[in-house]
Structure 1
Amino acid sequence: MHRLLGTLLFSLGAALASPAQAVDVTGADEAFDWTGFRVGAIGGYGRIGEAGPLIGASVGYDWRFDDVIVGVEGDLSGGGVDGRREGGRYGIDLFGTIRARVGYAFDRFVVYGAAGAAFASADYARDGARDSELHTGWTIGAGVETHLFGALTARAEFIYVDLDRRSFDVGQAVGFNPDGGQVRLGLNYRF
């Protein structure tokens, strides 16, 4: 899992660091039309209660109004966000967001902010007892996306997540309200 995340992060970092080379290869004009449906892969690392990597998929739709980009998107990811808490092990199995985003397009880039709902399926185990709960809450973030070539774009973003408190019954009630930030990278294919 960590090797796959490392490869994804390296590839995206290299692509974002050299967008001018991608432009020269395509020969396409500078005004990329950001309107349309997109699907993608995301990978990130950060803290949502505990720290760890998350890898998943996203889907969204964007509209372009002159230089303003407005869109909606959802994503779902899983990975290794877990750690020791209160004498047991707390972990997030799945994490997702549903967000609206607004951005400004220039050349082959969009700088954007996004906000919306977040949710996480979490479990807690201690002394042989295990319980699962669904956290809900909100997220806000910002990022940049660049057109690489053809229908492929890459993005880098930071999101902050604040989820509600849930109690886990493991012989006695133990409550957690996870929050924290994540750095995420993604590749999108646009239709």
Structure 2
Amino acid sequence: MSTAARAAEPAEAGALWSGPYAGALLSYGRVAGEGAGGALLVGYGWRSGPWALGIEGDLTLGGFDGRAQGGRFETEALGGVRARVGYAFDRFVVYGAAGAAFASVEYARGGARDGATHFGWTLGAGAEAHLGGGVSARAEFLYVDLDRRGYRADREVSLAPDGGLARLGLNYRF
């Protein structure tokens, strides 16, 4: 009987981190302003032995505002697409992630406004725990580095957003 149980383990363990998933995240950090936001996430994972591989994308809305160069920067949306490589054991996976990032930012000063979209890269690490059924919880940290863009609002200014995000979330695997 123990041989049968051990034979079933790899199939169950492989299924934990394989297939499509969607989730929601709460973020706090500083990228073109400090604040908090909510995100939606979609991804797909593959499991091969102890390795959990995947690709995921997310979009964070709201809450990242800052003052600089005499005006106010407001991040309207922040997102990215990342590859994920992790090591899975039991009901957990620890992972690193890297990929492309973007942010839609608006600058306001003296009653004038201007907006731009920044592109760049992101790098991070995290851990995810299977809670039961198709639900898992995750905690991660991402560093985001975006390109420099100019804004014309009352005067010409430029911004090259970068910084870190701490994120907590729940995923559901289909």
- Asked if TM exceeds 0.5, the reply is yes
The percentage of counterpart residues that share the same residue type is: 58
Aligned residues: 163
Contact 1:32 1:147 in 2 (8 A): no
Query: Matches of residues 1-191 of structure 1 in structure 2 within 5 Å?
Result: 31=13, 33=15, 34-191=17-174
Give the deviation of 1:32 after TM superposition. 5.8
Secondary structure of the structure 1 residue equivalent to 2:13: coil
Q: Please give the alpha-carbon distance, in whole angstroms, between the structure 2 residues aligned to 1:115 and 1:186.
A: 18
Secondary structure of the structure 1 residue equivalent to 2:154: coil
Residue type of the alignment partner of 1:129: A
Q: Which runs of 4+ in 1 moved over 6 A?
A: none
More strand per residue: 2
Q: Please give the alpha-carbon distance, in whole angstroms, between the structure 1 residues aligned to 2:39 and 2:18.
A: 23
RMSD: 1.1
Secondary structure of the structure 2 residue equivalent to 1:31: helix
Gaps of 5+ in 2: 1-8
Gaps of 5+ in 1: 1-28
Moved more, 43-52 or 99-108: 43-52
- Tell me the TM-score normalised to structure 1 length: 0.83
Contact 1:32 1:107 in 2 (8 A): no
Give the deviation of 1:119 after TM superposition. 0.2
Q: Please give the alpha-carbon distance, in whole angstroms, between the structure 2 residues aligned to 1:171 and 1:45.
A: 30
Give the deviation of 1:84 after TM superposition. 1.5
Q: Please give the alpha-carbon distance, in whole angstroms, between the structure 2 residues aligned to 1:63 and 1:78.
A: 28
